[in-house]
Structure 1
């Protein structure tokens, strides 16, 4: 994917997420109800697709989160982030002192900024 197309894709996806956040926080009651009726199913479907793509193989490694010749052990960062945001009652873990981002509970996935 070339840089222009990649940038446009990031921009439109982040714009949609920003729109949904604004509607959820600032929308009136009927707008938020409509949001729940339409978008929750879409978002859960997106999470399921993403998590399915990151299912561990027979060796317990994620086929998507690979280095040059190695796949990462399960749970990969995608599964860890899913657990933090969908399951953990307190949300993402607190910042701890650690050498590595994953050890401190911080995402090891680069954050894409909308241009």
Structure 2
């Protein structure tokens, strides 16, 4: 993807997110209800597509993350970000800035 196209795509996505944020924060109740009717389905579809692209392969590595030589272990940052934003309730005990912050909100193995 050339630099101009990538920049245009990036700008358009951020503008859409800004627009949705403004609606959520400033719109009246009927407008917010309408927003929920249309945008929740679009956002869940987007998350599902993104997560499908980052499913683990037969070796347990992310299909999309990493270079041609070695893929990243699953769960990758896309899955941990999804978990953090869709599952974890933000509380002071879940927020951390430590080096291993990404793993701090993952479910325990046992």
Equivalences for residues 8-19 of structure 1 within 5 A: 8-19=8-19
Equivalent in the alignment of 2:107: none
What's 1:112 paired with? Answer: none
State the structure with bigger RCO (CA 8 A, min sep 6), 1 or 2.
Answer: 1
Q: Is the 8 A contact 2:62 2:76 kept in 1?
A: yes
> Could you tell me which residue of structure 1 aligns to residue 98 of structure 2?
97
Aligned-residue offset at 1:63:
1.1
Write the distance in 2 (CA, Å) between the matches of 1:85 and 1:105: 12
- SS of the counterpart of 1:9? helix
Aligned pair count reads 102
1:85 match: secondary structure: helix
Q: Give me the CA root mean square deviation.
A: 1.8
Q: Distance in 1 between matches of 2:91 and 2:32?
A: 22
Normalising by the residue count of structure 1, what TM-score does the alignment of the two structures yield? 0.82
2:45 paired residue number? 45
What aligned pairs does 1:1-115 form with structure 2 within 5 A after superposition? Answer: 1-90=1-90, 93-98=94-99, 103-105=100-102
Which runs of 5 or more residues in structure 1 are unaligned? 107-115
SS in 2 for 1:30: helix
Distance 1:91 1:11 in 2: 31
| TM-score (structure 2 length as normaliser) | 0.86
Show structure 2 runs of 5+ residues with no match: 104-110
